[in-house]
Amino acid sequence: MKRVLITGASSGIGLQLAIDYARDHQVIACGRDAAKLQHALDNVACHHLCFDIGNRASVLAACADLPPLDLVILNAGTCEYIDDVKHFDGELFERVVRANLVGTGYCLEALMPKIAPGGQLALMSSTATYLPFSRAQAYGASKAGIDYLANSLAIDCKPLNIRVSNIKPCFVDTPLTQKNNFPMPGRITAAQASNYIRRGLAKGKREIAFTPIFVLGLKLLQLLPFNVWASLQKQQEENA
Ligand SMILES: NC(=O)c1ccc[n+]([C@@H]2O[C@H](COP(=O)([O-])OP(=O)(O)OC[C@H]3O[C@@H](n4cnc5c(N)ncnc54)[C@H](OP(=O)(O)O)[C@@H]3O)[C@@H](O)[C@H]2O)c1
């Protein structure tokens, strides 16, 4: 059986991926809260690994004795919005970038040596990086960083026979989006997201962006002049 490691497996998309892969893979499900992970994966046959991705020492210690891995999905992440740019919250910015981007770097340090030749690495970005969204300075910047990281890794991992995929989901119904108080067009379930991701990874796709119709919509909106897009964003915020 192939061995897959998934971070952020205590909730949302990561939890669904752990449940789905556990049917025919050996799964190492990672979270930072042992009790939450245990509760979420109560009836799922998998190994549990606990670490905070924002803490380098914790990541390195937890991953030190792992066996070779066929697939690593660095999914853990968080989202917080900057409500008042005039009083820019630098601590919030650091929290989000640490969890989403710096933590990914710590996981790469710990896990790259474990990925077997012929194996796969997947990073979790977002369709949010197709366009700048109001209040998303921290989240969008962290995920834009993931885009670059994934693309650059793909170049250097190719000669190592490790395929790198960048995952860019639309809105998915998880605890992360259940906090949002704005319309989320085209929101899908975590089960649907897991299907898109597992299908894309099975095909070795470099970019796994979904849903196709949502991505097409964003790509068309990219064609708008910036000022038109910016006023649309502000109008939407006023109507919310
Ligand atoms: N939902 C969406 O619409 C959407 C869209 C695009 C991209 N994404 C990305 O998809 C990924 C999963 O999101 P989700 O919607 O499934 O969110 P979620 O339900 O909130 O799950 C996030 C997971 O990441 C873990 N995590 C967060 N910070 C961590 C840390 N410092 N150390 C270790 N684990 C940590 C959480 O652990 P705890 O349970 O302990 O908090 C949880 O298991 C994120 O990277 C997110 O940015 C989501």
Specify the CATH number for the domain of residue 109. 3.40.50.720
The total domain count for the chain is 1
pTM value is 0.97
CA of 102 to the centre of ligand 1 (A): 14
What is the percent of the chain where pLDDT is above 70?
Answer: 100
Residue 239 has pLDDT above 80, yes or no: no
Ligand 1 environment, Cβ below 6 A = 8, 10-14, 31-33, 36, 52-54, 75-79, 99, 103, 124, 126, 169, 171-172, 174-177
Between the CA of residue 203 and those of 29, 134, 197, what are the distances in Å? 22, 34, 10
Q: Whose CA is nearest to atom 27 of ligand 1?
A: 77
Tell me the residue range of the domain where 133 lies: 3-239
| 177-220 pLDDT, tens digit each | 999 988 899 999 999 999 999 999 999 999 999 999 999 999 99
Residue with tokens 């366009």: 131
| 58-117 pLDDT, tens digit each | 999 999 999 999 999 999 999 999 999 999 999 999 999 999 999 999 999 999 999 999
Q: Length of the chain, please? A: 240
Question: Strands, E, within the chain: which ranges?
Answer: 3-6, 26-31, 47-50, 69-74, 115-124, 163-168, 172-173, 188-189, 207-209
CA atoms within 13 A on the CB side of 104: 27
Evaluate the CA torsion angle 4, 195, 37, 179 in order and state its sign.
positive
